[in-house]
Amino acid sequence: MNSVLAKQIPSPRPMGSYSPEDVIFLLKNLQHASLERSNEDREEAIQSGTHYSEMLPVEYHPSPEYLQLFHQTLERTSAKVALAAGTVAELIVKERGTEVVLASLARAGTPIGILIKRYLAQVYQIEVPHYSISIIRGKGIDENALLYILQNHPDRQIQFVDGWTGKGAIRQVLIEACADFARRYGVELSDQLAVLADPGSCSELYGTREDFLIPSACLNSTVSGLVSRTVLRPDLIGALDFHGAKYYEEWREDDLSNHFVDVISAHFPQVSAQAKLDAQAHQDAEVKADWQGLQSIKQIQAHFGIEDINLVKPGVGETTRVLLRRVPWKILVDRLDNPNLEHILLLASDRSVPVEVFPGLAYSCCGLIKPLKGEVE
């Protein structure tokens, strides 16, 4: 561990609207930096070669109708989400034991990591450390955050956590990042990713593979501790800094972050017995990641002539994000009467984005980003 200890990382500063008992953000607060660009400007920059981590979308301020939908969805699915969180927590215990550190991948992973931490506290009476760290496609994981965790918890294993899988891009980044970290520091980290939902079949540690709306996919920062997507730019992030993010402190009156985790974690006593059974059945079945979701992506690319796979965003969570912060071209759905699509159809209508049924889709839906270079008719 000498190479890990050689680089002394400064302690993080308080950030976000969650209690530090729930999570500690290993992120540099960039709340005073001007990073936001409109969806159109940002899309043009990304497709012209600027990395997405160098700027931020303008944070979507949900309408009263959309907030109502969030609350309705939370009420309808909270027990279902609690069972999925409990199931993946039980799988972590079975696979890794209780001497773990949860490292949630900011920002979609953060509320899920809190739920897992709370489940373990309620059901097993154990307190596991939980941090939120940055991982960025095309850039890798925040090594300073990993070093900080290893220096402060040398006897615990790191368990990475995310909200859900789409086509598995972040899982691939994690696999590569762990291999690179082993080469640089001689420390082997498990690249196994624990997720609440795995519709892309990219993970063995998941609560469900159903592609339904996890309410935390709806509201961006106001359900993620008032923290933005993570940022990595050399003029803002120094050699000993964590990756950056903005803390939208001015949105406190709109914040539903703690409400979300409180509502779901209240179900844990009722779902824990079923979660144990589901986790045991999952383990007995020796479920593997078969990456079936990628087959759907390849079919979509071939059908629409889309060369860049990054313009295809599968699953309810990723489609939600396309509608909130990208320039959507069209939305594909498995069927129009799918009850998991209510908010997708609402957002698509609000933004005048066409919706098409795509037979045989492995996901409930898929968002296609508008190509700006004319590669698709």
Task: Give the CA angle between residues 151, 170, 213 to the nearest 5°.
Answer: 115
Among residues 226, 277, 278, the alpha carbon closest in space to that of 29 is found at 226
Give CA separation, 26 vs 55, 209, 217, 240, 241, in Å.
19, 29, 21, 12, 9
Tell me the sheet residues that pair with 206: 195
In angstroms, the CA 215 to CA 238 distance is 35
* Domains of the chain and CATH, by start: 2-284 (no CATH), 293-369 (3.30.1330.30)
Among residues 265, 259, 256, the alpha carbon closest in space to that of 221 is found at 256
If you ran DSSP here, which 8-state letter would residue 253 be given? G
Sign of the C-alpha dihedral, residues 293, 297, 298, 300?
Answer: positive
What is the pLDDT tens value at each position of the chain, 377 positions in all? Answer: 567 877 889 999 999 999 999 999 999 999 989 888 887 888 788 888 888 888 888 887 777 867 887 898 899 999 999 999 999 999 999 999 999 999 999 999 999 999 999 999 999 999 999 999 999 988 999 999 999 999 999 999 999 999 988 888 899 999 999 999 999 999 999 999 999 999 989 999 999 999 988 888 777 889 999 999 999 999 999 999 999 999 999 999 999 999 999 999 999 999 999 999 999 999 999 988 888 888 889 999 999 999 989 899 999 988 987 887 778 999 999 999 998 898 899 889 989 999 999 988 989 999 999 887 644 43
Quote the pLDDT of residue 125. Answer: 97
| 258 CB burial (10 A radius; 0-12, 13-18, 19+) | middle
Quote the pLDDT of residue 376. Answer: 42
In angstroms, the CA 300 to CA 330 distance is 12
CB 207 within 8 Å of CB 80: no
- The percent helix, strand, coil of the chain (3-state, each to 5) is 45, 15, 40
CB 222 within 8 Å of CB 36: no
In angstroms, the CA 369 to CA 97 distance is 41
Quote the pLDDT of residue 373. Answer: 63
In angstroms, the CA 266 to CA 269 distance is 7
Which residues, 6+ apart, have CB-to-CB distance to 158 below 8 Å? 100, 101, 103, 146, 149, 150, 189, 190
Quote the pLDDT of residue 2. Answer: 67
What pTM value is reported for the model?
0.91
Quote the pLDDT of residue 375. Answer: 45
- What phi and psi, each to the nearest 5 degrees, are found at residue 195? -130, 155
| 346 CB burial (10 A radius; 0-12, 13-18, 19+) | middle
In angstroms, the CA 29 to CA 227 distance is 9
Quote the pLDDT of residue 161. Answer: 98
